[in-house]
């Protein structure tokens, strides 16, 4: 599959945005949504998406939406750092199936890292318990500036 194909309005994140399937939300405004990754690679793994753009990859997103989205990634990362105090964090953004993108609605991963904790492999993690994700989301939300 190439990088260029029609946006699927029934992709998982589009369905989350429409409220058709549940998600553990951290914060949102009219433009962006930050929510817990249900297959977390580390404790506190958050996804950040645009509500207004149907870009599938970084190539397609409108500049204004990208500015809002990257600002939201920084706001989320700051809250993750304050709440969970990781020793580092990764911002990951995959483009195309060949790069291991699995959901074709552009998203940024905020993945906290600790030197003594390994990272679970992308696509090889068990589904997290909703209650545990909610507790983490509440801690991160409480640390938002
Ligand atoms: P990527 O491979 O970069 O497209 O990442 C997609 C991420 O989405 C992956 O880390 C797992 C996560 N994910 C997949 N399905 C769901 C879901 O239904 N809910 C949530 N919250 N995350 C999902």
Q: Which residue has tokens 């700051």?
A: 78
End-to-end alpha carbon distance in the chain: 40
Low-confidence ranges of the chain (pLDDT < 50): none
Residues making up the chain, counted from first to last: 145
Burial class (CB in 10 A: 0-12, 13-18, 19+), 57: middle
Rounded CA separation 26/47 (Å): 9
Query: Ligand 1: does its nearest atom lie under 6 Å from the Cβ of 58?
Result: no
Q: What is the pTM of this model?
A: 0.98
Question: What pLDDT score was predicted for residue 2?
Answer: 84
Residue 32 φ then ψ, to 5°: -140, 160
Rounded CA separation 84/97 (Å): 31
What residues does each domain of the chain span? 12-142
Query: Ligand 1: does its nearest atom lie under 6 Å from the Cβ of 101?
Result: yes
Which residues belong to the active site?
Answer: 107
Note the pLDDT tens digit of each residue in 41-67: 999 999 999 999 999 999 999 999 999
As a CATH number, domain 12-142 is: 3.30.428.10
Q: How big is the CA angle at 59 (ends 113 and 18), to the nearest 5 degrees?
A: 75
Question: What pLDDT score was predicted for residue 1?
Answer: 67
Query: Ligand 1: does its nearest atom lie under 6 Å from the Cβ of 102?
Result: yes
Distance 38 CA to ligand 1 centre (A): 7
Q: Given the CA of residue 92, which atom of ligand 1 is nearest to it?
A: 3
């Amino acid at each position: 599959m190439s990088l260029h194909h029609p946006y699927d309005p029934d992709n998982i994140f589009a369905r989350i945005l429409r409220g058709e399937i549940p998600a553990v939300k951290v914060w949102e405004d009219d433009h962006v949504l930050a929510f817990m990754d249900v297959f977390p690679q580390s404790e506190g793994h958050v996804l950040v998406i645009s509500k207004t753009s149907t870009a599938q990859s970084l190539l397609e997103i409108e500049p204004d939406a990208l500015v809002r989205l990257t600002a939201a990634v920084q706001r989320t990362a700051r809250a993750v750092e304050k709440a969970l105090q990781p020793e580092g964090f990764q911002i990951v953004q995959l483009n195309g199936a060949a790069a291991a993108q699995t959901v074709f609605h552009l998203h940024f991963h905020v993945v906290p890292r600790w030197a003594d904790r390994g990272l679970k492999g992308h696509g090889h993690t068990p589904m997290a318990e909703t209650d545990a994700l909610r507790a983490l989301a509440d801690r991160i939300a409480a640390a938002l500036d």
